[in-house]
Chain A
Amino acid sequence: MTAVAPPDVPRSTASAIGWQQIVLPLATLAAGVGIWDLVVRIGHLPPYVLPAPGVVAATLVKDWSLLWGSLLVTLATTFEGLALAVIGGTGLAILFNQSRLIEYSLYPYAVILQVTPIVAIAPLLLIYLPQQAAVLACAWIVAFFPVLANTTLGLNSVDRNLADLFEIYGASRLSVLMRLKLPSALPYMLGGLKIAGGLSLIGAVVAEIAAGSAGAGSGLAYRIAEAGYRLDIPRMFAALILLSAAGVAIFFALSAVAWLLLRRWHESAVERER
Chain B
Amino acid sequence: MTLALPTDQSVVALEGVTKHFASGTLALAGVDLAIAGGEFVSILGPSGCGKSTALRLIAGLGEPTAGAISWRGTKPGAPRNGLDVGFVFQEPTLMPWATVARNVGLPLALAGVAPDIAGKRVAQALERVGLGQFRGAYPRELSGGMKMRVAIARALVTDPPLLLMDEPFAALDEITRFKLNDDLIALWHAVGNTVVFVTHSVFESVYLSSRIVVMTPRPGRVHADLAIDAPLPRDESFRTSAEYAGYCRTVSQALARAMAQTGDRP
Contact A161 B83 (CB under 8 A): no
Contact B93 A179 (CB under 8 A): no
Question: Given the complex, which residues of A lie within 8 Å of B111, measured CB to CB?
Answer: 169-170
Known: A161-B89, A183-B97. A166 touches B138 (CB 8 A): no
Nearest to B82 among chain A residues (CB) is A170
Task: Give the bracket for the number of chain B residues in contact with chain A.
Answer: 20 to 34
Interface residues as binary, B94-137 with A (CB distance below 8 Å gives 1, 0 otherwise): 01111000000011011100000000000000000000000000
Q: State which of A147-155, A214-222, A246-254, A263-271 sits at the interface with chain B.
A: A263-271
Question: Given the complex, which residues of B lie within 8 Å of A162, measured CB to CB?
Answer: 93, 95
Question: Given the complex, which residues of A lie within 8 Å of B83, measured CB to CB?
Answer: 169
Q: Which A180-207 residues have C-beta < 8 A from chain B?
A: 180, 183-184, 186
* Prevailing SS type, chain A contact patch: helix
Instruction: A267 to B56: give the CA distance in the assembly, Å.
Output: 31
Instruction: A138 to B87: give the CA distance in the assembly, Å.
Output: 50
Tell which of B56, B89, B106, B138 touches A169, judged by Cβ atoms closer than 8 Å.
B106
Tell which of A168, A265, A266 touches B59, judged by Cβ atoms closer than 8 Å.
A168
Question: Given the complex, which residues of B lie within 8 Å of A169, measured CB to CB?
Answer: 82-83, 106-107, 110-111
Nearest to B56 among chain A residues (CB) is A164
Question: Given the complex, which residues of A lie within 8 Å of B82, measured CB to CB?
Answer: 168-170
Tell which of B89, B95, B110, B138 touches A264, judged by Cβ atoms closer than 8 Å.
B138
Contact B97 A165 (CB under 8 A): no
Instruction: A81 to B182: give the CA distance in the assembly, Å.
Output: 59
Contact B60 A167 (CB under 8 A): yes
Question: Given the complex, which residues of A lie within 8 Å of B96, measured CB to CB?
Answer: 265-266
Shortest CB-to-CB span from A235 to chain B, Å, is: 48
Instruction: A166 to B110: give the CA distance in the assembly, Å.
Output: 8
Contact A165 B140 (CB under 8 A): no
Instruction: A164 to B60: give the CA distance in the assembly, Å.
Output: 10
Interface size on A, residues (CB 8 A): 22
A159 at the interface (CB under 8 A from B): yes
Tell which of A161, A179, A270 touches B91, judged by Cβ atoms closer than 8 Å.
A161
Interface residues as binary, B134-172 with A (CB distance below 8 Å gives 1, 0 otherwise): 000011100000000000000000000000000000000
Contact B93 A265 (CB under 8 A): no
Contact A180 B59 (CB under 8 A): no
Nearest to B60 among chain A residues (CB) is A168
A175 at the interface (CB under 8 A from B): yes
**For B85, B93, B96, which residue has the most chain A Cβ atoms within 10 angstroms?**
B96
Instruction: A183 to B61: give the CA distance in the assembly, Å.
Output: 23
Question: Given the complex, which residues of B lie within 8 Å of A102, measured CB to CB?
Answer: none
Nearest to B94 among chain A residues (CB) is A162
Instruction: A234 to B83: give the CA distance in the assembly, Å.
Output: 71
Instruction: A161 to B94: give the CA distance in the assembly, Å.
Output: 9
Shortest CB-to-CB span from A174 to chain B, Å, is: 11
Q: Which A223-274 residues have C-beta < 8 A from chain B?
A: 264-267, 270
A171 at the interface (CB under 8 A from B): yes
Contact A265 B138 (CB under 8 A): yes
Shortest CB-to-CB span from A184 to chain B, Å, is: 8
Instruction: A166 to B82: give the CA distance in the assembly, Å.
Output: 10
Contact B61 A168 (CB under 8 A): yes
Tell which of B61, B97, B109, B138 touches A164, judged by Cβ atoms closer than 8 Å.
B61
Known: A167-B60, A168-B61, A175-B110. A270 touches B93 (CB 8 A): no
Question: Given the complex, which residues of B lie within 8 Å of A159, measured CB to CB?
Answer: 93
Instruction: A151 to B96: give the CA distance in the assembly, Å.
Output: 18
Question: Given the complex, which residues of B lie within 8 Å of A165, measured CB to CB?
Answer: 87, 89, 93, 106
Instruction: A270 to B59: give the CA distance in the assembly, Å.
Output: 35
Shortest CB-to-CB span from A179 to chain B, Å, is: 7
Question: Given the complex, which residues of A lie within 8 Å of B139, measured CB to CB?
Answer: 265
Shortest CB-to-CB span from A185 to chain B, Å, is: 11
Shortest CB-to-CB span from B138 to chain A, Å, is: 5
Instruction: A165 to B139: give the CA distance in the assembly, Å.
Output: 17
Instruction: A186 to B96: give the CA distance in the assembly, Å.
Output: 12
Instruction: A168 to B60: give the CA distance in the assembly, Å.
Output: 7
Q: Which B179-221 residues have C-beta < 8 A from chain A?
A: none
Q: Which B20-79 residues have C-beta < 8 A from chain A?
A: 56, 59-61
Contact B107 A186 (CB under 8 A): no
Question: Given the complex, which residues of A lie within 8 Å of B107, measured CB to CB?
Answer: 169
- 3 closest Cβ pairs, A-B complex: A170-B82, A161-B93, A183-B97
A-B contact pairs, 14 of them (CB 8 A): A161-B93, A162-B95, A164-B56, A165-B93, A165-B106, A168-B82, A169-B82, A169-B107, A169-B110, A264-B97, A264-B138, A265-B97, A266-B96, A266-B97
A179-B95, A183-B98 known, 20 other contacts, Cβ within 8 Å: A161-B89, A161-B93, A164-B59, A165-B93, A165-B106, A167-B60, A167-B61, A168-B61, A168-B82, A169-B83, A169-B111, A170-B82, A170-B110, A180-B95, A186-B97, A264-B97, A265-B96, A265-B97, A266-B96, A270-B140
